[in-house]
Amino acid sequence: MELKYVWIKKYKNLENIDFNFQHPSDDFFEYNDGFLNIKESKVQSKKGFFGINIKGLTTIVGKNGSGKTNLSEFLTYNLAHVGNGLSTYMKGEGIIVLKDKIFVQEDINIENTATLNKEGYDIIKYKNAPLDKSSGMDWHLMEKNKFIYYCPLNSYRLGYSGRGLDNMINISSSYLIRYDVYDTLKSVLNDDIYSWQKKNSTDSLSAHFRNEKLRESDLILNYEPIKKLIEVPKLMRISVDHPTENNLLNGRNSRKEDKKTLQIGKNFQELYQMDVGFGYYSLESFKLDVKTRTGYEKFDIKADDRKNAFKWNFLIQFFKGLLFFGDKTFPDDFLFNFIYDHEYDLEDKALLSDLEKLKAQTKELVNLNNWEDVTAEIIEGNLFSDDKRELQIYNLYSNFEIDIEQKNVKELLINLISSVKSFLNNQLNFHYEFFHQLSAGEQNLLNFYSRFYYAKNEVLKIEKDYTEEVDERIVIFIDEGEVGYHPEWQRLYFNQVVKYLTDLFENREIQLLLTTHSPFVLSDIPKENVIFLNKDKKGNAVKEEFEMEKTFGANIYSLLADSFFMENGTIGEFAKKKIKWVVEILDANDAQLSSEVLKEVNYIIDSVGEPLIKQQLEILRNNILNEDKVSTLERQVRELKNEIRKRDDNDKDQ
């Protein structure tokens, strides 16, 4: 459902203000004195102008604090499909028009409902949020509305999270930094985790970092066109999770004592003993009897030992995860024999075949790595009573790197990920991430691509798992998405956005909403697609008529000064104050310039980069000094000669 119109009664600094958004129809709305009138839009964008499947684009610009983020917040609150009473915290008083539905908060009156009905619009009253049960709409109709919200800033304005909704995909930094922790394996199946396990959960930032790396990796592994958009890292690290960072590996707690549960407990105990025996007896044997710095011991693990250790450890932790869900049991000693390639058998031949396939994939991937000997200093202590020591030793054999530029390596990893997820309810017992050194701008760009790739997959997952309702349209809100980019990248930004989203959502119609502080972005947008916001003396948002005739392809300096309401021009405030000081000194009627003041005046004038300003300052200075043009040039020649002489003296000294 396309978003056509919003009228906001009161939300922060948005008061009695409305917004018409670009969409394919000609309807233009205006709410005044209880009447919602429909007019024909004065200007319509050319179809397909921004991309074949971008059916509407609205850009919001303006002064800082004018309400752009408040508007994005209001929309994300009120476009979300809310249930379970959470909407009581989100009261959004206003009117929202989605396709042929006009949602009206129950305290607001519309006098001309009959006229609107004749125009083909349904009037739907709501209590707290439009897409809520209270609106009386059928649940499946709400599910069809899909919205994606992206903002790279961590603004600490989290508000309602949107967790658990089936139509809102929130990929903003503020949301992910806070809520990624609930989507980590440390917090898997959160409702089934006991309080002591929650207490030991990973911290939010660590969880966000890990999930961000997984999103990046999934994009690069599975979306081939990304190579045309950004330089793709080649090396990927595969790491088996430690039980302290993955609740799947901590065992299954149950008060039941039925036969199946008891066997699961025995299986897990067998795996735990393998963990202890492998870790303590095998790894301790790699300790060198040599002197090292105080408090540390030296370990030396050969390449073949590391390779075998990874393979065995991978399977041990995999089976722990499999037992977590409690739907599989194995005969005594089967797990030991299977992992260490002794003789084994299993009654369920189909399960056995799938397990053997997974083990073969693991071995093949492990053998592709060029394993090397590792020597390291490890803190002294008991292996299983000192977490720091245990993790240090664990890291010596629990990870390796592969080059996914090799097609067979990449396909093998993708297949292994798929196999493990099919066993572990779409979870993993390991992590994979790319190793690369990116600039801040490159990292932001990669995050942008990877988060939208993730969002697309979330939309597909929602439609597959929770609803049969599929809408051809997605509303995407990008809030200051160009932040952190080099000016050249800001210049390229909008073109990259529309190209990427057009290709990524090739089978969907897209309505795109943007806020921006960049004149480069604005120069790519026709004026009819732009809403200009300012604020009045009370700080409330007001829409402004932009005096500049056109924005598309306009000069960025003019856009910067006019479109973003920069009342004091485009010169930095520090430089402005210095220039102002020079003007005040030279404009004084009784100006008597000391040598020190004149020296500073000359330095400032000579440093000015804008030719017109520099010329005017020079005229003022020359008038004070009573210098004609020839005298000025002679003085400049003397200054240059002095500078050359100083440089020559410095060169001789060196």
Q: How confident is the model at residue 632 (pLDDT cuts 50, 70, 90)?
A: low
Same structural domain for residues 517 and 404? no
For the cut 50, the answer to whether the pLDDT of residue 33 exceeds it is: yes
Residue 325 CB burial class (10 angstroms; 0-12, 13-18, ≥19): middle
Same structural domain for residues 155 and 285? no
SS3 591: coil
For the cut 80, the answer to whether the pLDDT of residue 387 exceeds it is: no
Q: Which residue has the higher pLDDT, 257 or 238?
A: 238
Same structural domain for residues 457 and 416? no
Q: In the prediction, which pLDDT does 359 show?
A: 96
Same structural domain for residues 375 and 424? yes
Mean pLDDT of 21-26: 80
Cα–Cα distance between 305 and 362 in angstroms, integer?
A: 16
Q: In the prediction, which pLDDT does 190 show?
A: 45
Q: Which of 164, 242, 261 is CA-nearest to residue 200?
A: 242
Q: How confident is the model at residue 74 (pLDDT cuts 50, 70, 90)?
A: confident
Determine, yes or no, domain membership for 563: no
| 475, 502, 529 - which closes a domain | 529
Q: How confident is the model at residue 275 (pLDDT cuts 50, 70, 90)?
A: confident
Model confidence pTM above 0.95: no
| 404, 434, 464 - which closes a domain | 434
Same structural domain for residues 453 and 392? no
For the cut 80, the answer to whether the pLDDT of residue 277 exceeds it is: no
DSSP string, 171-218: --HHHHHHHGGGGSGGGTTGGGS-HHHHHTPPPHHHHHHHHHHHHHHH
Q: In the prediction, which pLDDT does 15 show?
A: 93
For the cut 60, the answer to whether the pLDDT of residue 159 exceeds it is: no
Give 445's contacts (C-beta < 8 A, 6+ positions apart).
230, 485, 489, 496
Q: Which residue has the tokens 């995407």?
A: 476
Q: In the prediction, which pLDDT does 386 show?
A: 63
Q: Which residue has the higher pLDDT, 86 or 183?
A: 183
Half-sphere exposure of 505 (CA within 13 A, CB side): 31
Domains identified in the chain, total number = 3
Q: What percent of the chain has pLDDT over 70?
A: 80
Residue pLDDT, tens place only, 56-72: 999 998 877 888 888 88
Determine, yes or no, domain membership for 114: yes
Same structural domain for residues 259 and 371? yes
Q: Which residue has the higher pLDDT, 413 or 463?
A: 413
For the cut 60, the answer to whether the pLDDT of residue 89 exceeds it is: no
Give 214's contacts (C-beta < 8 A, 6+ positions apart).
431, 432, 433
Residue 296 CB burial class (10 angstroms; 0-12, 13-18, ≥19): middle
| Mean pLDDT lowest among 49-53, 256-260, 486-490 | 256-260
Q: Which residue has the higher pLDDT, 603 or 630?
A: 603
Q: Cα 352 vs. chain centroid, distance in angstroms?
A: 40
Q: How confident is the model at residue 395 (pLDDT cuts 50, 70, 90)?
A: confident
Determine, yes or no, domain membership for 254: yes
| Mean pLDDT lowest among 67-71, 113-117, 340-344, 476-480 | 67-71
Q: Cα 400 vs. chain centroid, distance in angstroms?
A: 27
Q: In the prediction, which pLDDT does 504 show?
A: 94
| 434, 450, 467 - which closes a domain | 434
Q: Which residues pair with 36 in a beta bridge?
A: 31
For the cut 80, the answer to whether the pLDDT of residue 18 exceeds it is: yes
Q: In the prediction, which pLDDT does 619 show?
A: 78
Q: Which residue has the higher pLDDT, 239 or 164?
A: 239
For the cut 80, the answer to whether the pLDDT of residue 266 exceeds it is: yes
Q: In the prediction, which pLDDT does 185 show?
A: 66
Q: How confident is the model at residue 325 (pLDDT cuts 50, 70, 90)?
A: confident
Q: How confident is the model at residue 154 (pLDDT cuts 50, 70, 90)?
A: confident
Determine, yes or no, domain membership for 485: yes
For the cut 50, the answer to whether the pLDDT of residue 193 exceeds it is: no
Same structural domain for residues 604 and 475? no
Q: How confident is the model at residue 191 (pLDDT cuts 50, 70, 90)?
A: very low
Same structural domain for residues 369 and 460? no
Q: In the prediction, which pLDDT does 442 show?
A: 83
Q: Which of 477, 514, 314, 459 is CA-nearest to residue 398?
A: 314
Residue 239 identity: S
Give 574's contacts (C-beta < 8 A, 6+ positions apart).
none
For the cut 80, the answer to whether the pLDDT of residue 140 exceeds it is: no
Determine, yes or no, domain membership for 246: yes
Mean pLDDT of 596-622: 83
Query: Domain range holding 176?
Result: 3-184+441-529
Q: In the prediction, which pLDDT does 593 show?
A: 72
Same structural domain for residues 493 and 609? no
Q: Which residues pair with 534 in a beta bridge?
A: 542
Helix axes 259-276, 303-324, angle to 10 degrees: 160
Q: Which of 569, 597, 567 is CA-nearest to residue 585?
A: 597
Residue pLDDT, tens place only, 497-530: 999 999 999 888 899 999 988 888 888 888 888 8
Helix axes 204-222, 440-465, angle to 10 degrees: 80
| Mean pLDDT lowest among 26-35, 63-72, 207-216, 590-599 | 590-599
Same structural domain for residues 398 and 453? no
Same structural domain for residues 447 and 430? no
For the cut 80, the answer to whether the pLDDT of residue 610 exceeds it is: no
Q: In the prediction, which pLDDT does 150 show?
A: 93
Contact between 359 and 315 (Cβ < 8 Å) = yes
Same structural domain for residues 266 and 327? yes
For the cut 90, the answer to whether the pLDDT of residue 77 exceeds it is: no
CA distances to 508, 521, 561, 632 from 489, rounded to whole Å, are: 27, 10, 20, 43
Q: How confident is the model at residue 644 (pLDDT cuts 50, 70, 90)?
A: confident
Determine, yes or no, domain membership for 212: no
Determine, yes or no, domain membership for 197: no
Determine, yes or no, domain membership for 536: no
